[in-house]
Amino acid sequence: MPRTADHAQRREQILQAMTAVALRDGLPAVSMRAVAAEAGISLRLVQYYFGSKAALMHAGLEQLESRSLQRWSSRTVGGGQASAFDTLLALFAEALPVDDEQRAFHFLWMSYAVLAMTDGDIPGRTFIQGPDRLQARIAAELERGIANREFRAAIDPAIESAALLALLHGLGTAVLVGQQDSATAMAAATLQLDRLRCADGMNRPPGPGAD
């Protein structure tokens, strides 16, 4: 019986192969056979771990999403004590596709979304689950910022989280295709977050040592 660690390593090997095929040849070129060849293992082994091409692609996206969220957390200065503003700014810094892993995540998600519209084997809303989770986390940070008087009480976290998510996706695509550079994209994200902040010092969180 293979050990749990062996299973995890094998899944990682297969998912890395799937990502390599997708980035090199495009997501429509991904097949169980192509991934098996890329990983240097049998087709039966890929089928054992993932069952179907749709399950394999979804697992790859979930893995990239998980890594992106981990990197978001590591970017947030102060960890759980960071302000909501800084936490959201760190999200934009992580989400912009400026390195290989970020570009892979953004490219594969866009490709998956387009493919899901024409491929009946891909469950209807599978590719929306990740953005839904991210929007919920953005809304939670906005609510925390309102409670801490970082953001204006009048803002609607549900609407603003949708707008921020759309901005994040739009800027990410613009950077990916070279229409914007990362510095301009971050400046635009910072400007949008600044617009949500309290307008005067009386409404801002008290500084260190304040009553």
Q: pTM to 2 decimals?
A: 0.75
> Tens place of pLDDT for every residue, the chain, 211 residues?
455 558 889 999 999 998 899 888 988 888 999 999 999 999 999 999 998 888 888 888 788 778 777 777 776 655 557 899 999 998 888 888 888 878 887 888 888 778 777 776 666 566 677 788 889 999 999 999 999 999 999 999 999 999 999 999 999 999 999 999 999 999 999 999 999 997 653 344 444 333 3
**Residue 8 buriedness (CB in 10 A; 0-12 / 13-18 / 19+):** exposed
Q: Which CATH class is domain 62-203?
A: mainly alpha
CATH number given to 1-51: 1.10.10
How far is 89 from 100, CA to CA, in rounded Å?
20
Any idea where the domains of the chain sit in the sequence? 1-51, 62-203
| 67, 101 Cβ separation under 8 angstroms | yes
How far is 118 from 114, CA to CA, in rounded Å?
7
